[in-house]
Structure 1
Amino acid sequence: MKYNFDEIVNRRGTYSVKWDGGEFIKEMGLTERYDEETIPLFTADMDLPVPQPLIDALHKTVDHRIFGYSIFPNEYYEAIQSWFQRKHDWKIKKEEIVYSPGTVHALNVAVRAFTEPGDGIIIQRPVYPPFTSVIEQNKRVVRNNALIYDEDGYYSIDFDDFEGKAKEENTKLFILCNPHNPTGRIFQQEELQRLTTICEKHGVLIIADEIHGDLIRCDQTFTPIAKIAEQEDHIITCTAINKTFNVAGLHCTNVIIPNQELRLTFTEEMGMHLPSPFTVSALIAVYNEGEEWLEQLKEYVDETMEWVMEFVKEKLPKVKMRIPEGTYVMWMDFSEYGLTPEEVHDRIYNKANVLLEDGKMFGEEGLPYQRICIPSPRPIIKEAFERMAREFADV
């Protein structure tokens, strides 16, 4: 079927964090202004309807009228295995799959399971803020292998610095974000192989957050790091339907752990988590029947990003940005406007009444930046950028 992603679905009054959570958002310090005219484009969920097979599957679950404790049927595991085999040529064994109610939850479990307080954990800033919080809140130490970027805003890995941090005596983990949030990089096979070689050499366990792996540009290819590693025993991979199919509220991350000993340690630390019947129905439906929707979604997001680039070139010419290789976020550099990050924030959040995410949340490397999430109906995106352009027209 053909999906109409331009359709605006009113999310107010549906318990949505981004559309109904104004007081919560203010308490978090994201903005001072939030009202009925705010356009929230800060959180990584979509304002777009999900695939029809998913809707049908959830209706069937509702119609049963009983929502008790649920199991993971064979169809659940088979759907995961089939998806990754078809989409990424990655063979996953059933016993390697461990359910988690969320990716950040899985990262917390991994940090506690495989490190001790005071141990070092490598991350690559600017990066998704919970990477920092799961380290610091568990009393571990951040080892920041900051990504480096060229004059065109293209990010790459500083491998000399990475190895220097990996070989420190108490460095135990590396949390990889690929595709990278917020820069949008998809790390290529040679980069991933080099990372795995260094980590294996120095006994560093890799936790790979690959939940954006299906959300890539139509002309790009994503490779799971465990697929290309010579020894996959030191790699744990987080996958999810949450981002791909816009079902973050259903809490469905699947952690792939090939090493039996690591898998046992992880599951013992996490404890037992049973799924919602809606989670089981959703995963089976989207992995078996959601590919048509996903391909149309990717085309739509690609077209929106092309529109953004043309608009910014004409109306926000001092903003430096590029189309990301993966994810549905765009990383906007406002440094050439000569304003402080606070002044940029005020013009966007308070005057334009558009809610993004300040770059400082991703580490000091993000100070001149703003992150915007693109997967909303294009009329909403256009209105947001037109508002922002008016507020920067005099600079």
Structure 2
Amino acid sequence: MLNKFFYTIFKEQFSLSETTAIYLNLLANLFVFAIIGYLLFKILRYYGRKAIRKMADKTSTHFDDLLIKNRAFLNLSRIIVLTIVFNLLKEILEDFPDLFTYAERFTTIAIVFSIVWFIRSILLTVKDFLRTTNAFKDKPLESYVQIFMIILWLIAIISSFSVLTGKPLIRFLTALGAFSAVLLLIFKDTILGFVSSIQVAVNDTVRIGDWITMEKYGADGDVVEINLTSVIIRNFDNTISSIPTYYLTSDSFKNWRTMNTSGGRRIKRAILIKINSIHFLTDEDIERFKKIELIANYMEQTSKEVKKYNEENNVDKSVLLNGRNLTNFGTFRIYLDKYIENHPKINQDMLLMSRQLEPTPNGIPLEIYAFSREKNWVDYERVMANIFDHILASVKYFDLEVFQNPSSIDILNLKEAKKSE
């Protein structure tokens, strides 16, 4: 027999003792089979990969390419080689029954874990393939792969202990049931993350590629990965935030996806107008404002309506306060409405207005509420800046003033002015 080949050489040609010949025969057999196993593994991997690559080049699908990428055939080669070794162990260790028992157990465990790695390769391949389709490219597939792998690893570990100790598998499953409370505590975050990832997928609250903001955790950027335990966010300052997945269902966050898919991005910003700069318009003011093209028709029509009303009601206009009057603040708001309505970067199909908010100790807020057609952050900021540049520059034409806290230079100039007086 082949397993006695080296034994015969050591016993007959070298005239060694029985015990020595048996041990040297074992070492020689192990050495030879290790080399054969290694060469067989290399040959299977090389020709298998080569054959799959040829098939991949002939097919239009990328599934076979992904199999190569995720080393599916490499893991399959391990299973084949280990299975062959398992079947040859009895021949190699015929003279060592105790060693055969342990070797058989460890080889079985190695096969079990090799099968787990092979299944993992298949799952990763399926995940990567689904990620290339429109229906699944933004779904948290990593979570499902991870939960399946956790279950698979638990089964492999329990089976390995059963094989290693020679105890029935049912005993370990019974012990696992008694240990379930501890396991629930250990895998609490994993279980919560799995449930949350299902809720996120079903409710479609977050997708990969969405821009989300969670101020509580300093996250503000694009979602790059949703897995079983965490959501990975690449912030706009190129830092990475990792947030537990279950926070997506237990805490509040802002998802900007609908803004990206809508017709515009909201502009909602205010400037503070000094209250003491607001006044009624005189006839001279009205004539001056009629020269402003955006509100020329408004001033013409409205001033006639106001004048007609005052004449019909015999209003004493020797006092400007009496009757109906126009104000510079109200006229400025009409001007801003017309300006926004004519702005090419503002979506006219969405809500837009300028509005007066509740007065504050620092003045009256005048807010612009509109939606920019430009939704990209840089372009959006430029549109908003251009609008408010114009607003701040045009305030003085309506005899209004923007509130600003005095600086040290303002105070110094005021003191110098008093001294000169």
Q: Smaller-chain TM-score range?
A: under 0.3
Relative contact order: is structure 1 or structure 2 higher (C-alpha 8 Å, sep ≥ 6)? 1
Larger radius of gyration: 2
Which is richer in helix? Answer: 2
Q: TM-score, normalised by structure 1?
A: 0.20
Q: TM-score, normalised by structure 2?
A: 0.19
